[in-house]
Amino acid sequence: MKKLINDVDSALSESLDGFAAAHADIVSLGEQRQFVRRRQLKPGKVALISGGGSGHEPLHAGFVGHGMLDAACPGQVFTSPTPDQMLAAAQSVDGGAGVLFIVKNYSGDMMNFEMAAELCRAEGSDVESVVVDDDVAVQDSLYTAGRRGVGATVLMEKIAGAAAEERRPLKEVADICREVNANARSMGMALTSCTVPAAGTPTFELGDDEIEMGVGIHGEPGRERMKMKQASEIVDMMATAIVDDLPFNKGDQVLAFVNGMGGTPLIELYVVFNELNKLLTGRGITISRNLIGSYITSLEMAGCSITLLKLSEDFTKLWDAPVNTAGLRWGV
């Protein structure tokens, strides 16, 4: 295992210290690095909190800041954060307008965020939780009952974050999240595995001519292990599964998110976007917004995922609203 770290046990802490130092104008670290929060809170705004295992950077800490999250709770690599992290984050950023937990559908995250919500309510906070489960690849998975939460998380954090900045109330921001989840679908694939530092060996093995179609963001098995294919065939498989699932229909306007898994360069992601654009155009679906890059990653895994979100006028306006985070920045 070759990684730019000092040692396995301190890697996350040191990475968080580097992150907090680099973006000190936007964020600060909670005590014992339990959470990353905005340096400046907005009075009267619903507080958005997410979190999950580390190794998916920039998700989630990279999305803390104006227009997105108020706090993010990082667990160890691919391991859920604990309920006391979420409670501490909520106590730090709840300005009285309530707290919204954005939870990816993995058993550990679900359990711990639920416990945190109970703890917060016991302290008198108004708390709502929303679940992301946009991955169409498989029905149940290694760490998930039902569908896994993947790329839609990024879009949900941006869109709900903008709604919260407009001072929309907790119930409405939660409903927007559920609407994003209901209108988004994703699927991923891997060219290579990744290596969790604490494990020291690749999470799974792939042959030199093999890909994992429908892989999860922790390297969970997908639909099928298959021989390497051209980008056009790979995109066709993923996009068809996504489009048919919702379904997306002729005349729809979508946000197309082509995500790199961490080890795939931009030159390839744009080939994927080009194929996706042709395929959707052929079906009468218009990509009116896009996001291309590595935003929800799996350490150094090579591969990509596609997320499509059906856009309403409100979603589009909220997507376009200013954002100032380490990972996404525009309009400010």
Tell me how crowded residue 209 is: count the other CB atoms within 10 A of its CB.
8
Q: Please identify which residue in the block is written with the tokens 């993923």.
A: 238
Q: Is 23 one of the catalytic residues?
A: no
198 near a copy of itself, judged by CB under 8 A = no
Q: Please identify which residue in the block is written with the tokens 């973006």.
A: 23
Residue with Cβ nearer a copy of itself (87 or 256): 256
From the list 37-45, 96-104, 159-167, 207-215, the region that binds a copy of itself by CB under 8 A is: 207-215
Using CB under 8 A as the criterion, what x/- string covers residues 263-282 for binding a copy of itself?
A: xxxxxxxxxxxxx-x-----
The distance of closest approach from Cβ of residue 6 to a copy of itself in the complex, given in angstroms and rounded to an integer, is 5
Residue with Cβ nearer a copy of itself (47 or 237): 237
16 near a copy of itself, judged by CB under 8 A = yes
Q: Which residues, 6+ apart, have CB-to-CB distance to 33 below 8 Å?
A: 12, 13, 16, 17, 74
Q: Is 60 one of the catalytic residues?
A: no
Residue with Cβ nearer a copy of itself (142 or 228): 228
Which of 23, 56, 60, 66 does the annotation list as catalytic?
Answer: 56
Distance of alpha carbon 215 from its chain centroid, rounded? 15
Q: How many CA atoms lie within 13 A of 244 on its CB side?
A: 7
100 near a copy of itself, judged by CB under 8 A = no
Which of 23, 60, 66, 218 does the annotation list as catalytic?
Answer: 218
Q: What are phi and psi of 182, to 5 degrees?
A: -70, -25
8 near a copy of itself, judged by CB under 8 A = no
Using CB under 8 A as the criterion, what x/- string covers residues 54-93 for binding a copy of itself?
A: xx-xx---x--------------x----------------
Structure tokens at 17: 């210290």
209 near a copy of itself, judged by CB under 8 A = yes
Terminal C-alpha separation, the chain: 40
Structure tokens at 92: 């730090």
Q: Which residues, 6+ apart, have CB-to-CB distance to 248 below 8 Å?
A: 185, 242, 254, 280, 283, 285, 308, 310
Q: Of 304, 270, 312, which is closest to residue 290 (Cα–Cα)?
A: 270
Among left, alpha and beta (phi > 0; psi -120 to 50; other), residue 88 is: alpha
The distance of closest approach from Cβ of residue 332 to a copy of itself in the complex, given in angstroms and rounded to an integer, is 7
Spatial separation of the C-alpha atoms in residues 179 and 156, rounded to whole Å: 9
Tell me how crowded residue 284 is: count the other CB atoms within 10 A of its CB.
11
From the list 99-107, 146-154, 159-167, 287-295, the region that binds a copy of itself by CB under 8 A is: 287-295
21 near a copy of itself, judged by CB under 8 A = yes
231 near a copy of itself, judged by CB under 8 A = yes
Residues that bind a copy of itself (CB under 8 A): 2-7, 11-12, 14-19, 21-22, 54-55, 57-58, 62, 77, 191-192, 208-209, 211, 228, 230-232, 234, 262-275, 277, 290, 292, 294, 297, 299-300, 302-304, 329-332
| Residues known to be catalytic | 56, 218
